[in-house]
Structure 1
Amino acid sequence: MREIVFDTETTGLSPGNDRMVEIGCVEMIGRVETGRTYHCYFNPQRAMPSEAEAVHGLSDAFLADKALFADKVEELLEFIGDSPLVAHNASFDFGFLNYELRTCGRTEVCMTRMVDTLVLARSRHPGAKHSLDALCTRFGVDRSQRVKHGALLDAQLLAQVYVELTGGRQIGLSLAAEQQAGASPQAIAAAAGATPTRPRREPRPHAPSEEELSRHRAFIAKMDDPLWERVA
């Protein structure tokens, strides 16, 4: 299944009063990143509050020559298609995305397409911290490059977190399918990412030889009432 993990940066918290200034999208198929991304900055046509700039570092000067959302809406809609859209605290990102779509006369994204990783995290780890930073720490996702918020980087981090929240990369599930399909042991090992380190060795014979049996009989003949004789 194709899914799009995305994140937005904005001038504030209220769609309408505030505007989207950045979006980053990561394509996943079968919960695996394909390498395809979409990233764009937008001119919000309003001043950037200092509080918001402190979060993402996007200044009025930087955004002054960027395209309007309406100028990029076609390529954004083409990238996301009709796939489910995954975001952290997704109602926030959906609110801004749909406001921008309405403003330029386009159809809003249906909320049934929304997958909220914040809801997933709260369900899986009640009472824990659920920020993106906290989830990266919990699942061992490297966030060393995250000095400030950035839509594409945050979407890439969230894609890794999303995989962990939905079960991780359970190789064993794919191995069962390989076995049912009659795959060879070598193919199954390759699917698991394993590389044989030495050639397969045939089983060694383990039945005693006639000489060994003769020596055993001579050994127990020296015993008083040996157990082996009673069993026989």
Structure 2
Amino acid sequence: MSNSTLLNGLRVAVTGAGGTVGQAVAREALQMGASVALIDMKVPEALRDLSGAKYYTADLTDEREIRQCFEEVGQIDALLNIAGGFAMGRPVHETSDADWDQMFDINVKTLLHCVRQAVPGMISRGNGRIVNIAAVSARRGQPLMAPYSASKSTIIRLTESMAMELREKGINVNCVLPSIVDTPANRHAMPDVDHSKWVSPVDLAHVVCFLASDHARAIHGASLPVTHLS
């Protein structure tokens, strides 16, 4: 089987499809033969006319909206939880509840809302793939970004727990740990560094889509670093 057909015939949901990484993952999944549900608050015009893709607008932090969204999406074979965000903060002793809530809402609750809707169908069919996005910075604490690091560390633990709970039911759950991804926002925030060492969204998409494929059926609960040279 060639890389271009790794996801042939599969129904894949991509959350956060409007972001730079989400767009790359959606395009890669389509190129690999999947039909793709694009889920986000807003989906860019550039994705709306892609053959094999259909977009759904929903607030991923709102469980009611996500429930309605997945009712429209219907049966899926793979859930790619790309939605998330980053924010620098203050020292832990100066970090507010709102700061913690923001990072856990967009990085953890969005994931939980989606797996609650997707997993029961996967269990009933005895097959499924879930790929989550954590971060290299989740492996140890970082200064001035405790809420972000903690939320991404939570994703690793959730991935491991779900993998153990679901592997006997035919469902693979894994996550990737990118370092700095080469996005317009990151280039704007760090204009003077060597961007060539960052992870390209396309390279990250290759890894995500591999984990969503049958070629990764022996992998359960992995936290795979994707760092390029950064």
TM-score, structure 2 as length reference? 0.25
Larger radius of gyration: 1
